[in-house]
Amino acid sequence: MIREWNEESLDHRNTLLYAMGISEEDAKRPIIGLLNTWNEMNPGHFPFDKELIAEMKKEIYQAGGLALELPISGICDGICSNTPGDRYTLPARDMVSSEVETVAELNMLEGMVMMATCDKVVPGMLMGALRVNIPTVMMTGGYMAAGHYQGRMLTLTHTKQAYAAYIAGDMSEEDYKGIVRNACPTPGACPFMGTANTMCAMAEILGFSPHGAASCRSQTEKWHELARQAARQIMEAWKQEIRPSDILNKSSFENVVRYMMATGGSTNSVLHIPAIARQIGIDITPETFDEISREVPVISTIYPNHPTNTMEEFEMAGGLGAVVKELEKAGKIDASAKGMFGTIAQKAALAKNQNKEVIHPVSNPIHEQGGLAVLHGNIGTDSAIVKFSAVDPAAWKFSGPAKCYDSQDDAWHAILRDEIVAGDVVIIRYEGPKGSPGMPHMETFMAAVLGKGLGSKIALVSDGRFSGATGGLAIGHVSPEAYEGGNLALIRNNDIIHINIEERKLEVDVSEEEFERRKKEFLPIVKPAKGWLSLYRRQCTSAHRGATVYWEKE
């Protein structure tokens, strides 16, 4: 047994189990928690229904365990996009980790199968699992089908671009509503290389989910079989007492970064991977991302890094396993890294690259460097992040006058009114972890930029963050953030900003002496926050260090 019970406490627990119809014999079995994030407001988690739970319970019971379902929060970022609710999405990651820790420790679980798909829930669950450190596997929800309207491929993010075009008079209301109605045709993770699919890939690369789970269409028979496999594997892990700490090391997390660079994964990884690694004392920093970015090229792109390919084309080409195989052949990934389902080498051996136009060999990359860059300069003196695989190379070097806004909402309305023009560098500040608080997405503003055809003609620099589906010259995670007195707060309209992605520079033509003078006049804007958001503001670290309450202060 993983847990140690005394006779009285075990009998006391069992008395309560008997009340729910569990037999005396079944109460002697190891209890495996099915930590389920199913709910009716998240299409990514909607597939974790009673049918799937029954299948997993049956597999676990046949292997000698007793699986009991336990609820965990499962939020969808898209539900609250461009609303005040978006301030809660990143803090929800830490809340989910607390729920996992509490449910596992309070109930003295012998093992866990965690079910999650979406942006903050997958990393939150993994953070909690690493603190608990009992046998754990994860089943992710698979991706949704791509949408189509009038012969055009659609995803959720296209609705925001369409709205900007509709407001500008470039699209009819009928077509705009048609895109809204057809963008998300089935449950599952949005089928682009956003945060959800990046995080599901992370779970598989770290070894918590079955081979192929991160690039499998939701609700298919293949997906159901992977869930059954996960249920069988948790019992093997329990019998052998394999804990997360037995399979994870620094190389495991670096492998995730390598995969992310090869596929142009979400910038939110720079928040989540360091926060997860920190739970077991491993340091992954933005500098880690930048070092690996210089070494691992982009070999596969789907939307927004590619105009039409989605997870459907990616899966048909061989999916995650095929990318791993190409990286392993080129010595760009640590193939000895272990997981609950085998090593990276074993994963590569199971895979085949079916389409080298979708998943390139490392010798024929799409970009010579990885899909993300960490910028430095007198704006982000700690760091700033850009997903340059989604940026037109013509815009990798960009200079222009600053237009400053203290919220995304102000900037969004300004661009809809055509007050922002080609050549501008838009500053959106006080949207960082503490400033907002909660560090919401700046995707609504950037979708409006793309909807107006200005994706390579306007730059955005912000202490907020982005959806993984954001395209265009969008620089986020600026640290220190404006709320904490970072230089971002001191920039004024018409200061000249210089961006050079290849040289990793983000600078403004303001001298240190002028910054010092401006600092004397600085008073932060304090946006209202209550309850959990107020607590998060007081306790969270900077974006440079994961934006989490679970990071011991250095």
Positions annotated as catalytic residues are 467
Q: How far apart are CA 355 and CA 313, in angstroms?
A: 9
How many other C-beta atoms lie within 10 A of the C-beta of residue 24? 9
Q: 405 has which bridge partners?
A: 428
How many other C-beta atoms lie within 10 A of the C-beta of residue 27? 17
Residue 133 structure tokens? 């450190």
Amino acid symbol at 182: N
Q: How far apart are CA 340 and CA 338, in angstroms?
A: 7
Query: Could you tell me the CA-to-CA distances from 542 to 160, 281, 433, 435 in Å, in that order?
Result: 29, 18, 7, 10
Q: Is 280 exposed, middle or buried (0-12, 13-18, 19+ CB in 10 A)?
A: middle
For 351-370, give one letter per residue: b (16+ CB within 10 A) or e. Answer: bebeeeebbbebeebbbebb
Residue 505 structure tokens? 């520079």
Q: 374 has which bridge partners?
A: 385
- Of 516, 515, 526, 517, the C-alpha closest to 483 is 526
Q: Cβ neighbours of residue 106 under 8 Å, at least 6 residues apart? A: none
Amino acid symbol at 356: K
Please, what is the Cα angle at 328 between 326 and 334, to 5 degrees? 145
DSSP 291-344: HHHTTS-B-B--TTSSSS--HHHHHHHTHHHHHHHHHHHTT-S-TT---TT--H
> How many CA atoms does the CB half-sphere of 71 hold within 13 Å?
8
- Of 158, 105, 95, 150, the C-alpha closest to 131 is 105
Q: Cβ neighbours of residue 52 under 8 Å, at least 6 residues apart? A: 224, 227
SS (H, E, C) 42-98: CCCCCCCCHHHHHHHHHHHHHCCCEEEEEECCCCCHHHHCCCHHHHHHHHHHHHHHH
| Residue 185 preceded by cis peptide, ω within 30 | no
CB 359 within 8 A of CB 300: yes
CB 111 within 8 A of CB 2: yes
